[in-house]
C-alpha cells in the first residue's frame, strides 16, 4: 500500500508564524486615511483593534512567535494531515501527484480558527472583554465564536440576513459555542437602523454587516472588532498551515511545482502559499495560483487600486485588486468568495507576478467537487471546489504538455453545512454567473476620485 497521509507529531507544530513583509521584493503601498489621504498610523486603528494586533499588522519581522496559549488551542486539531489524493489522480489520468492539506478537520470545519484563536488570545491579553464581527456564509463567525468561548470573551456576530435565513446551521453552531448571532441589518446599530428604515426587508450584505460590527465595537471601550481575512495579521496567523505543509513534504522528499488555493479575501490561500512564496522570492521555480469565482473576478478583471474594505466606507483605503466597494457579487454558494477586494499582500504579489489568478465558474467548480467526493470521499466546501477546479485544469495542462507535475492545494474546508448547494447542482438548478463588462465598469465608478497607488 502506498502512503496517503503525512502526519506531524504535535512537537513538530511550528512555533512561529511567517511574515512575508520581511521578504517583499518591492515596497507595498500603505493603507491611507480616507480623510487626509495620508498613511494611517497605529493610533488611527486603536478604537478598532487592540494595540498588540496593530503592532503585528505593521510588523516587518520575518518570524513572529506563536504564544504558548495559542499553540495549546491549535493542538486541539493541529497539525492537520497532509493527504495525497491517489484516487482523484487515478480519475484524472494525468502525469501528476496531487497533495492536499486538510484544514477541514478543525471543529468549525475550516482554516478560519487559525486566526480566530490568535485574535481572541491577543484581545484577551489586551484586556478586551467582547469581540464583534461580521460573517457571510458563517465559517468565520463560527470560528470566532469558538475561539472567544475558549478565551472567555463575549462574541457578537452580525450575519448577513439572507445567509442567516438560508443557513441556520451556522448560526446554531455559533450559539453552541456561546456566541450571539444577529441577522444584519439589525436594529442594534445606527447603520443597521438606517438601512431598515429605508428597506425593512433588506437581505443585507457583507458591507452592511461590517459597518454594523465596527460601529458596535467602536462604541464600547471593552470591545474591539475582529476581521477574518484581508489584513496582514490575519494572513500571518494562517501561515502556520503552510509551514506545517513544508515540514510534511520534506518528510516524504517532495516539493511542489504548483501551489493552489481559492481566494475570497485571501487568507486560506495565503496561509498555505506564503511560505512557498518565500522560497520563490529566493529563487525557487514554482507557480502559485489563486482560484477565484467568475462571478466575483477581483484579480482577473479588477484593477489594482486604492479602495475601501467595506461598502459604508468606514475602513482605511487599501491598495488592492478591487471591483469597487459597491460591488454586490451574484449569490453564488461559495459565500466566502463574495468579496469585492483582495488582501493587500496577495494583491501586491499578483501585481508583481509572483502569484497568478484564474477564475472558475460555479458549475465547473461543483463538477470538480462531485468528482472529488466520489473518489476521495470528502465533500468540500463550495469555496474549496474552486481550488479543485484549478487542480483539474493543472492536471489537464500537464497531460497536454506530457510533463510530470507535483500539485499542492489547500482543502480549506468541508461542505457538510453547504449541502443545499450540492443539491442545486445535482438537480440542475445551479446558475452560471459571468460578469458583463458594463457591470464591472459600473461598479468601478465607486473608486473614481480615490487616490491611486
Binding site for a copy of itself (CB under 8 A): 1, 3-5, 7, 9-11, 68, 71-72, 75-77, 87, 105-107, 109, 113, 146, 149-150, 168-169, 172-173, 175-178, 370, 373-379, 416-417, 419-420, 422-423, 426
Nearer to a copy of itself, 64 or 85 (CB): 85
Q: Is 387 exposed, middle or buried (0-12, 13-18, 19+ CB in 10 A)?
A: buried
Closest distance of CB 11 from a copy of itself, Å: 8
Closest distance of CB 37 from a copy of itself, Å: 44
Distances 415 to 254, 304, 338, 412, 421 between C-alpha atoms, Å: 29, 32, 17, 10, 9
Nearer to a copy of itself, 71 or 440 (CB): 71
Cβ proximity of 290 and 44 under 8 Å: no
Those residues whose C-beta lies under 8 Å from the C-beta of residue 176, and which sit 6 or more positions away, are: none
Nearer to a copy of itself, 22 or 419 (CB): 419
**Residue 363: all three cell numbers together:** 458549475
Nearer to a copy of itself, 178 or 303 (CB): 178
Closest distance of CB 102 from a copy of itself, Å: 9
Element (H, E) at 70: helix 68-74
* Dihedral class, residue 404 (left if φ above 0, else alpha if ψ from -120 to 50, else beta): beta
Closest distance of CB 379 from a copy of itself, Å: 6
Closest distance of CB 448 from a copy of itself, Å: 45
**Residue 342: all three cell numbers together:** 483582495
Q: Which residue has cell 499542492? A: 408
Report the b/e string of 335-368 with b at 16+ CB within 10 A.
Answer: bbbbbbbbbbbbbbbbbeebbebbbbbbebbbbb
Cβ proximity of 153 and 120 under 8 Å: yes
Closest distance of CB 9 from a copy of itself, Å: 8
Phi then psi for 112, rounded to 5 degrees? -55, -40
Nearer to a copy of itself, 5 or 452 (CB): 5
**Residue 269: all three cell numbers together:** 490561500
Closest distance of CB 254 from a copy of itself, Å: 16
Nearer to a copy of itself, 248 or 311 (CB): 248
Distances 191 to 133, 213, 221, 448 between C-alpha atoms, Å: 14, 10, 19, 24
Nearer to a copy of itself, 90 or 282 (CB): 90
Closest distance of CB 107 from a copy of itself, Å: 3
Closest distance of CB 189 from a copy of itself, Å: 25
Phi then psi for 211, rounded to 5 degrees? -60, -40
Nearer to a copy of itself, 222 or 423 (CB): 423
Query: CA 437, 397, 335: angle at the middle one, nearest 5?
Result: 45
Closest distance of CB 152 from a copy of itself, Å: 11
Nearer to a copy of itself, 49 or 74 (CB): 74
Nearer to a copy of itself, 212 or 367 (CB): 367
**Residue 246: all three cell numbers together:** 513544508
Cβ proximity of 452 and 421 under 8 Å: no
Amino acid at each position: 500500500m502506498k502512503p496517503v497521509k503525512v502526519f506531524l507529531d504535535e512537537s513538530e507544530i511550528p512555533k512561529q508564524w511567517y511574515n512575508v513583509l520581511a521578504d517583499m521584493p518591492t515596497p507595498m503601498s500603505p493603507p491611507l486615511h480616507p480623510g487626509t489621504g495620508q498613511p494611517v498610523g497605529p493610533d488611527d486603528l486603536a478604537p478598532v483593534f487592540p494595540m498588540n494586533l496593530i503592532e503585528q499588522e505593521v510588523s516587518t519581522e520575518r518570524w513572529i512567535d506563536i504564544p504558548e496559549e495559542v499553540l495549546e488551542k491549535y493542538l486541539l486539531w493541529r497539525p492537520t494531515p497532509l493527504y495525497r489524493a491517489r484516487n482523484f489522480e487515478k480519475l484524472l489520468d494525468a502525469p501528476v501527484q496531487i497533495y492536499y492539506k486538510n484544514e477541514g478537520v478543525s471543529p468549525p470545519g475550516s482554516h478560519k480558527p487559525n486566526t480566530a484563536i490568535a485574535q481572541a488570545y491577543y484581545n484577551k491579553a489586551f484586556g478586551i472583554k467582547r469581540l464583534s464581527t461580521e460573517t457571510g456564509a458563517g465559517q468565520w463567525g463560527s470560528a470566532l465564536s469558538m475561539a472567544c468561548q475558549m478565551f472567555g470573551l463575549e462574541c457578537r456576530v452580525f450575519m448577513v440576513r439572507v445567509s442567516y435565513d438560508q443557513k441556520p446551521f451556522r448560526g446554531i453552531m455559533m450559539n453552541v459555542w456561546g456566541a450571539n448571532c444577529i441577522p444584519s441589518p439589525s436594529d442594534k446599530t445606527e447603520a443597521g437602523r438606517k438601512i431598515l428604515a429605508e428597506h425593512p426587508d433588506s437581505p443585507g450584505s457583507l458591507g452592511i454587516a461590517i459597518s454594523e460590527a465596527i460601529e458596535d465595537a467602536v462604541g464600547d471601550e471593552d470591545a474591539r472588532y475582529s476581521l477574518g481575512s484581508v489584513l496582514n495579521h490575519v494572513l500571518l496567523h494562517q501561515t502556520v498551515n503552510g509551514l506545517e505543509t513544508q515540514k510534511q513534504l520534506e518528510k516524504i522528499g517532495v516539493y511542489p511545482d504548483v501551489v493552489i488555493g481559492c481566494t475570497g479575501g485571501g487568507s486560506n490561500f495565503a496561509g498555505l502559499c506564503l511560505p512557498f512564496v518565500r522560497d520563490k522570492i529566493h529563487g525557487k521555480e514554482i507557480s502559485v495560483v489563486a482560484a477565484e469565482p467568475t462571478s466575483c473576478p477581483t484579480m482577473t478583471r479588477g484593477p489594482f487600486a486604492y479602495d475601501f474594505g467595506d461598502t459604508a466606507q468606514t475602513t482605511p483605503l487599501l491598495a488592492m485588486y478591487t471591483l469597487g466597494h459597491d460591488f454586490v457579487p451574484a449569490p453564488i454558494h461559495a459565500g466566502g468568495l463574495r468579496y469585492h477586494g483582495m488582501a493587500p499582500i496577495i494583491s501586491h504579489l499578483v501585481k508583481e507576478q509572483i502569484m497568478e489568478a484564474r477564475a472558475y465558474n460555479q458549475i465547473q467548480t461543483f463538477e470538480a467537487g462531485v468528482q472529488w467526493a466520489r473518489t476521495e470521499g470528502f465533500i468540500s466546501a463550495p469555496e474549496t471546489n474552486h481550488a479543485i477546479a484549478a487542480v483539474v485544469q493543472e492536471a489537464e495542462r500537464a497531460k497536454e504538455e506530457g510533463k510530470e507535475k507535483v500539485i499542492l492545494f489547500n482543502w480549506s474546508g468541508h461542505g457538510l453545512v453547504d449541502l443545499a448547494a450540492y443539491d442545486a447542482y445535482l438537480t440542475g438548478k445551479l446558475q452560471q454567473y459571468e460578469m458583463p463588462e458594463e457591470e464591472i465598469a459600473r461598479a468601478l465608478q465607486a473608486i473614481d476620485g480615490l487616490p491611486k497607488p
